[in-house]
Amino acid sequence: GNSVTQMEGPVTLSEEAFLTINCTYTATGYPSLFWYVQYPGEGLQLLLKATKADDKGSNKGFEATYRKETTSFHLEKGSVQVSDSAVYFCALSEYDDMRFGAGTRLTVKP
């Protein structure tokens, strides 16, 4: 079945540092890939998505590229802020069946 493997946290960075969170997937078909963010006590918010190979999703300075050859969808941001502290989930979806990675907790210190 489909699955997502995500870099385990927690990750602690200083403000303005570069962020990478690794995500790889296993799928039998052609899934869409997502990054969701969850702030404490809240539901999940879509951060970005890509629906086919070589697509790049981007939002609020975050980027991820759908790489079919390496089955990856790594999340990057050039300069993190304290407000980026949250849990980040990589996910794949095929025919309404969305599967999430384990989640990576990011803490950004001033």
Does position 1 interact with other proteins (CB under 8 A)? The reply is no
Concatenating the DSSP letter of every residue in 28-67 gives SS--EEEEEEE-TTS-EEEEEEE-STT-EEEETTEEEE-B
Choose the stretch contacting other proteins; rule: CB under 8 A; options: 11-19, 40-48, 63-71, 72-80. 40-48
Distance CA 110, CA 22 (A): 24
Does position 97 interact with other proteins (CB under 8 A)? The reply is yes
Question: Binding other proteins by CB under 8 A: which of 44, 63, 71, 107?
Answer: 44
Question: Binding other proteins by CB under 8 A: which of 1, 40, 43, 110?
Answer: 43
